[in-house]
Amino acid sequence: MEKLKYEDLYSLEEYDRRRSEFRAQVMAHKRARQVQIGPHARLYFEDRLTMQYQVQEMLRAERIFERAGVKEELDTYNPLIPDGNNWKATFMIEYDNVPERQANLAKMLGIENCVWVTVEGFPRIWAVADEDLDRSTEEKTSAVHFLRFELTQPMVDAVKVGTSVHMGIEHDAYDYKINPIGDDVRNSLAQDLT
């Protein structure tokens, strides 16, 4: 999948005019790109459109318009765009109650390395987590991680013809699986693959 370039982005003024319509488009797109795993974990699969939205929102919030500042945002978010043989996801551990979240994050040390994807008929693919920086401490894991799932070409080919995809987390404190994910999500994720 092609990475974002400076020329792909709206200026701050143009984005302000288009923001409402663009946001609605991205939110509709994102609905078919997330997988809830158990009651408190969710994978949000990223692609070029979700990252363009993220960059545009950061530029807007920070009022960044200089080319160097835009390049810095692109350098930050382009690595989350899939490369054609992988899926990239933001992994979130979600608890509304703050004390409950803190207590569970302490029990879930290392959970980011326990997330898996399976294309039916193939071995599990374990997530490669937080390649940019470590988000956990010795006391607790972070509520947000960035994951990459690297597929072989036979797996890519299988997904593209509609083979089922399963996902899960295998951790002592959190063990859930989805067998299989919905067709709408699988079809959306198949578009990330070449």
Q: Give one DSSP letter per residue of the chain, joined into a string.
A: -PPP-GGGSPPHHHHHHHHHHHHHHHHHHHHTTEEEETTTEEEEE--HHHHHHHHHHHHHHHT--SHHHHHHHHHHHGGGS--SSEEEEEEEE--SSHHHHHHHHHHTTTGGGSEEEEETTS--EEPEE-SS-----SS---SEEEEEEEPPHHHHHHHHTT--EEEEEEETTEEEEESS--HHHHHHHHTT--
- pLDDT at position 1, please? 83
Which residues of the chain are under the pLDDT cut of 50? none
Contacts of 84 (CB under 8 A, 6+ apart): 1, 192, 193, 194
- pLDDT at position 69, please? 94
- pLDDT at position 84, please? 94
Give the span between the Cα atoms of 146 and 127, in whole angstroms: 9
**Are 55 and 4 in contact, with CB atoms under 8 Å apart?**
yes
> CA nearest 125: which of 189, 81, 65?
189
**Are 159 and 118 in contact, with CB atoms under 8 Å apart?**
no
- pLDDT at position 133, please? 67
Give the span between the Cα atoms of 146 and 79, in whole angstroms: 10
- Look up residue 193 and give its amino acid: L
- pLDDT at position 75, please? 93
- pLDDT at position 54, please? 96
